[in-house]
Amino acid sequence: MREETRHVPRRSWTRGGGGRLRRRPLDGARRVRRREAERVLGPRAGREARGLGAGPRRLRADAHLGGGGSADLRAPARARRGLGARRVKYLAEYRQREAVETLARALRRRVTRPWVVMEVCGGQTHSIVRYGVDQLLPPELELVHGPGCPVCVTPLETIDRAHAIAAEPDVVFCSYGDMLRVPGSRGDLLAHKARGADVRVVLSPLDALSIAAENPGRRVVFFAIGFETTAPANAQALLTAKRRGLDNFFALVSHVRVPPALTAILATEDNRVQAFLGPGHVCTVMGTGEYEPIAERHRVPIVITGFEPVDLLEGLLATVEQLESGRSEVEIQYRRAVTRGGNAKARELLAQVFVTCDRKWRGIGKIPQSGLELSPEYRRYDAERELSVTAIETAESPECFSGQVLCGLKKPLDCPAFGRACTPEHPLGATMVSSEGACAAYYAYGRHLPRVAE
Ligand code: SF4
């Protein structure tokens, strides 16, 4: 017999003294969690009172996390209450209204002339637009949006090559979910799946390896895109495929590297960028050493920055301090994740499987030494060669100037197609195809809508 399930409220009412209803006390585990939250955040640490966003989420209780960044990058003392003064355990602490406002005031005091700063990562762009960080800045300080969105910069012909591979009858095509809706010339991967292609969403390249092991008679192709952040896991999958002798596993590789892209942006004739908020997650893997020659040669401050409002404003404050005082150094705001040396094990994996190569970036074009391709030892796993799709070339829409958006020369609202011919449902170009693209972020958070009178 099927057992009946019943909704049991986590916390319910009970009748107390005098017959009055009162809340049943929290169970032991919840009581411990509440006490811990109050110890860290204070007794009135309600989500609504603390956070900027609608519902900041707790990540995990990381006992090792220190707070507030390095001494020279820390928020002013009042903003640090709740950061450096206590052990940081909660994501919400990086969204605290008081800290954000204090940092914004400090920035307004420090800026004396116009500066243009580029945030490199798509995750940073998304956060800036989502929380309106750019709207808190003094008018002299302009933020432009960089090329650090992996889905956006994957060339259109690579998308078409992926679709051609997926359409092969003996292929199982494995991809992360964010590539499924990226349109190529003949629809997206979901459309190909509807036409009969075996397209599967995986959460890790190791899932694709398992599919290859379970289907020895079929060719299993993993779509390996992204920056230095995702490349080590893909390298590990290829190492494992080699060790296990999985000859039916292949990778369609379109990895890109950040430092050559920054150099290319600085070398453009009409470059406006004077400083960078550097890529926090990429530097978690790669460290900061590659950025030092760029800062020195081009005399640009590079502050490796996290992704929350307090991170971004701390990063901007450190950047402005450098700009105003004529310094151009690499600094780390995102100290809870980034060290100068990065992750040595991950870098070792990359060196075993990949070599650098010239790579085309969607909207920008070819950037020397900006990509990773399979080393000669691993070239037999190259899906483009195995399935003979290297001849496919595709032109971008002539209406789209996403390349100029990605280089900081234009903003999404400068584009006549934005929100009209080009929307997230029908993207014309790179920066609208992914939620981390600047055009998609502007659209998602209503930057195209008329402002209601205040
Ligand atoms: S709005 Fe669309 S067409 Fe315009 S730059 Fe952005 S992606 Fe390109």
- Other Cβ atoms closer than 10 A to 95: 21
- Give distance in angstroms: CA of 223 to centre of ligand 1: 25
22-31, 227-236, 303-312: segment of lowest average pLDDT: 22-31
49-53, 104-108, 235-239, 267-271: segment of lowest average pLDDT: 49-53
- Give distance in angstroms: CA of 420 to centre of ligand 1: 10
pLDDT, position 433 = 87
| Whole-model pTM over 0.85 | no
pLDDT, position 18 = 47
- Give distance in angstroms: CA of 452 to centre of ligand 1: 25
Question: 125, 406, 418, 420: which to mutate for ligand 1, most atoms within 8 A of CB?
Answer: 418
Q: Which residues contact 281 (CB under 8 A, 6 or more apart)?
A: 121, 123, 227, 229, 307, 337
User: Is residue 147's pLDDT more than 70?
Assistant: yes
pLDDT, position 135 = 95
81-85, 242-246, 316-320: segment of lowest average pLDDT: 81-85
Question: 400, 410, 433, 448: which to mutate for ligand 1, most atoms within 8 A of CB?
Answer: 400
- Give distance in angstroms: CA of 407 to centre of ligand 1: 13
pLDDT, position 181 = 83
Residue range 382-388: mean pLDDT, rounded: 93
pLDDT, position 91 = 81
Residue nearest to atom 8 of ligand 1 (CA): 400
- Reduced 3-state DSSP string for 95-123: HCHHHHHHHHHHHHHHCCCCEEEEEEEHH
Residue nearest to atom 1 of ligand 1 (CA): 418
pLDDT band at 69 (very low <50, low <70, confident <90, very high): very low
- Give distance in angstroms: CA of 208 to centre of ligand 1: 33
pLDDT digits (tens, 9 = 90+) for 249-304: 999 999 999 999 999 999 999 999 999 999 999 999 999 999 999 999 999 999 99
pLDDT, position 48 = 34
Report H helices in 115-269: 122-131, 150-153, 156-166, 189-194, 205-214, 231-244, 258-267
- Give distance in angstroms: CA of 130 to centre of ligand 1: 19
pLDDT digits (tens, 9 = 90+) for 6-25: 333 333 334 444 445 444 44
- Give distance in angstroms: CA of 429 to centre of ligand 1: 5
Closest ligand 1 atom to 430 CA: 7
Pairwise pLDDT comparison (146 vs 51), residue with the higher score = 146
Most confident of 246-260, 380-394, 400-414, 420-434: 246-260
Residue range 335-353: mean pLDDT, rounded: 97
Closest ligand 1 atom to 401 CA: 5
pLDDT, position 138 = 97
d(CA 252, CA 357): 15
User: Is residue 44's pLDDT more than 50?
Assistant: no
pLDDT band at 383 (very low <50, low <70, confident <90, very high): very high
pLDDT, position 214 = 97
Residue nearest to atom 3 of ligand 1 (CA): 400
Residue nearest to atom 7 of ligand 1 (CA): 429
Please give all residues whose beta carbon lies within 6 A of any atom in ligand 1, as ranges.
Answer: 399-402, 405, 412, 415, 417-418, 422, 427-429, 431-432, 439
**Measured distance between the N- and C-terminal CA atoms of the chain, rounded to whole angstroms:** 61
- Among candidates 214, 174, 217, which has minimal Cα distance to 197? 174
- Give distance in angstroms: CA of 75 to centre of ligand 1: 36
pLDDT, position 196 = 95
